[in-house]
């Protein structure tokens, strides 16, 4: 497990605000699913004096953040008992503040118009549609563009509306592990 620190001056925020994806280099951390992984994360935060954490992610990230929050006292006790941190460090870090922000292209969170990531995903998908439209028209072909949507067809429907397709079929197809796939069918006449 590694920790990456990114200064807000490098790269300048103005250069990354329009970029989709994860500019800070974070990714899924399978270690965090296990207690020993959360112990490592807690130790890193304590050693760096971090007591305020902002978690941007989907179901998994926010569930993990909540578990981390509920286990925080226990993690500090285990780290102190194991000699990884001092009692003084544990006392200074006795409370962890976590803010969770939904970052999901699915746009499946109530109370907000658009989740973080949806706009970037829509832009990338529309770029793809623009790129294949002329080919579809010149070859008089039908292209099927599949977009991710998990349990929500919002991205599929928004793309169809944005590109004014002639036919829009939004179908949720259950595959193993109950993941829904939204299919946007574009027919050019």
Q: Is the dihedral of CA 162, 163, 165, 168 positive or negative?
A: negative
Tokens of 107: 């746009």
Last residue of one domain, picked from the residues 70, 102, 134: 102
Which pLDDT tens digit goes with each residue over 114-137?
888 888 888 888 888 888 888 888
Tokens of 90: 């544990």
The partner residues of 55 in beta bridges, in order of sequence, read 100
| 82 and 20 co-located in one domain | yes
Q: Is pLDDT of 169 > 60? A: no
Query: Could you list the residue range(s) of the whole structural domain that residue 92 is in?
Result: 13-102
| 96 and 125 co-located in one domain | no
Q: Are 51 and 96 in contact (CB under 8 A)?
A: yes
Query: What is the arithmetic mean of pLDDT over 5-30?
Result: 64
Using DSSP's 3-state secondary structure scheme, residue 37 falls into: helix
Spatial strand order of the sheet with 143-148 comes to 143-148, 179-186, 171-175
Q: Is pLDDT of 106 > 60? A: yes
Give the DSSP H/E element, type plus range, for residue 147.
Answer: strand 143-148
Which pLDDT tens digit goes with each residue over 40-88?
999 999 999 999 998 988 888 899 999 999 999 999 999 999 999 999 9
Which pLDDT tens digit goes with each residue over 87-105?
999 999 999 999 998 888 8
Catalytically annotated residues: 106
Query: What is the number of domains present in the chain?
Result: 2
Please indicate, yes or no, if residue 180 is contained in any of the structural domains.
Answer: yes
Share of the chain above pLDDT 90, in %: 32
Q: Are 143 and 125 in contact (CB under 8 A)?
A: no
0.85 surpassed by pTM:
no
Closest by CA to 149, choosing from 159, 140, 138, is 159
């Amino acid at each position: 497990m590694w920790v990456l620190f990114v200064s807000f001056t490098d790269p300048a925020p103005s250069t990354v605000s329009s970029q989709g994806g994860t500019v800070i280099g974070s990714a899924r951390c399978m270690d965090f699913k296990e207690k020993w992984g959360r112990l490592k994360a807690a130790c890193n935060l304590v050693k760096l004096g971090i007591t305020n954490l902002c978690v941007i992610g989907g179901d998994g990230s926010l569930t993990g953040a909540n578990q981390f929050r509920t286990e925080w006292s226990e993690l500090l006790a285990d780290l102190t008992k194991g000699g990884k941190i001092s009692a003084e460090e544990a006392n200074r870090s006795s409370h962890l503040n976590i803010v969770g922000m939904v970052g999901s292209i699915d746009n499946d969170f109530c109370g907000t118009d658009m989740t973080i990531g949806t706009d970037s995903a829509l832009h990338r998908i529309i770029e793809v549609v623009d790129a294949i439209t002329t080919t579809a028209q010149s070859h008089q072909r039908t292209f099927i563009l599949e977009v991710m949507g998990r349990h929500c067809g919002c991205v599929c429907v928004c793309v169809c509306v944005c590109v004014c397709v002639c036919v829009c079929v939004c179908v949720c197809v259950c595959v193993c592990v109950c993941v829904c796939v939204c299919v946007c069918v574009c027919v050019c006449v």
